[in-house]
Structure 1
Amino acid sequence: MSPRFFLSYTGVRLPLQLVEELPEAALRNRNTWFRAEYDAQGTLIRVEKIVYGEVEMTHRYTYDSELRLHEAIVTFADEEPQVMRFSEASA
């Protein structure tokens, strides 16, 4: 599936809730935007925050069989990835 592009996100829960989808042509006029990848079922599996053409942050998501968030791996620039696992009760 082709990536989709967004201006921002809302909320503080994971996975990120992306807002204001942008056409790819609009990215030339932006310094900051989000690139999102979805699986064949339309579930968000990866988000990258792009700042001045560089990846500043990456989120990778995996889900359980009920499509509840199972794991999020968050990486900021050159830092070590942070792995967050979610139990059924907190997902």
Structure 2
Amino acid sequence: MMSEIHEARNEEECRYFLSYSGVRLPLKLLGPLEASELKNRNTYFRATYDAEGKIVSCEKLVYGEVELRHDYSYSADGVLARARIAMGEDVSEIDCGADGAPLRS
């Protein structure tokens, strides 16, 4: 289990985005939004970051419901070590190598 995942979140920690680019993990979020811009949006991403500025969680919200969630943990040197991706009931956990790239099994 990923004990490093930050489950507690307050609104001050959250940042909001329109979309993401690429396929590498962690997701690269694009189009920052202010919280005041969310009420007229049907779809957006909500992310939290650690003290070093690394993304620790990302959710895609559609009509107020979480459709997709990514949780990330990092090694002591700041490289992505593990990703947990949840889409509804489907959950995948991905271990990463020293370079942050997913390991193939």
| TM-score of the superposed pair, with normalisation by structure 2 | 0.81
Whole-angstrom CA distance in 2 between matches of 1:44 and 1:73: 13
Tell me which residue corresponds to 1:84: 94
Runs of at least 4 residues of structure 1 off by over 4 A? none
Deviation at 1:78, TM superposition (A): 2.7
Q: Equivalents in 1 of 2:45, 2:17: separation in Å? A: 5
CA drift of 1:42 comes to 1.1
Counterpart Cα distance in 2 of 1:29 and 1:47: 20
CA contact (8 A) 2:79 2:100 kept: no
**Per-residue CA distance 1:64-87 (angstroms, 9 max, x = gap):** 1111110000000232x1000011
**1:2 corresponds to which letter in structure 2?**
E
Unpaired stretches in structure 1, ≥5 consecutive residues: none
Deviation at 1:89, TM superposition (A): 4.6
- 2:30 equivalent among 2, 6, 19: 19
Query: Which one of the candidate residues 72, 79, 86 is aligned to 2:83?
Result: 72
Q: 1:41 to 1:90 in 2, by over 3 A?
A: closer
Seq. identity, %: 43
d(CA) in 2 for partners of 1:24 and 1:37? 13
TM-score by length of 1: 0.93
Structure 2 unaligned spans of 5+: 1-11
The number of residues matched between the two structures is: 90
Equivalent position amino acid for 2:20 in 1: Y
> Over aligned residue pairs, what C-alpha RMSD do you find?
1.2
